[in-house]
Amino acid sequence: MVFSVNAFQPLIACACALVCSLTFASSQPTTHTLAIQYAPYVYHWQHNPEHNNTPHLIGLEYRAPSEWVFGGVRFDNSFDQPSQYYYAGRQWTFDTVSPNLYGKLTAGPLLGYTGEYENKIPVNRKGVGLGAIPALGYQMMGANAQVALLGTAGFMFTFGADLLSW
């Protein structure tokens, strides 16, 4: 099996972003957090019996004290293809409403939409596309629940738990 440098570019970019965030975040007064995320269900705007509504998404997310987030997830896409999403983004709390309520926006490479489904995500070339996901979440005592908007496809429920803080 031959790997090209292009195949590793998303991983290299995520690693560089993580290193940069750790350097920046070290001057911040609050904690770093590593969390696990799981998504059991996706609702599609247009019903199609061929759509996979159970993505079995699982991933890790790092949150810096500056509220920048970095992560990666593995899931089965709407067409049952194994897929990955590597992302960087930002999280904002809505303190005036509730200190536990937050919004999040992430973006990054989305891998795995291939063959006849290659045109189902934007800017996709040979299974490497671009994802941008806004979410609304609620965090309480190390656990969170989110609703993430999946563009014109639908929305997804995710649940997470903090694994470690330092």
pLDDT tens, per residue, the chain with 166 residues: 343 444 444 444 444 444 444 434 333 447 999 999 999 999 999 999 999 999 999 999 999 999 999 999 999 999 999 999 999 999 999 999 999 999 999 999 999 999 999 999 988 999 999 999 999 999 999 999 999 999 999 999 999 999 999 9
In a domain, 14, yes or no: no
Question: Whole-prediction pTM value?
Answer: 0.81
Q: In terms of Cα–Cα distance, which of 117, 107, 27, 101 is closest to 64?
A: 27
pLDDT for residue 122: 83
12 falls within a domain:
no
What is the chain's alpha carbon radius of gyration, rounded to the nearest angstrom?
Answer: 16
Examine residue 27 and state whether it is found in any structural domain, yes or no. no
Contact 130, 121 (CB under 8 A): yes
**Amino acid of residue 89:** G
Domain contains 6: no
Residue 76 domain boundaries: 32-165
Total number of domains constituting the chain: 1
CA distances from 54 to 42, 104, 159 (A): 6, 22, 14
The residue type found at 29 is P
CATH number of the domain enclosing 124: 2.40.160.20
Please report whether residue 95 resides in a domain: yes
Specify whether the CB–CB gap between 77 and 104 falls below 8 A: no
Q: Report if residue 133 sits inside a domain.
A: yes
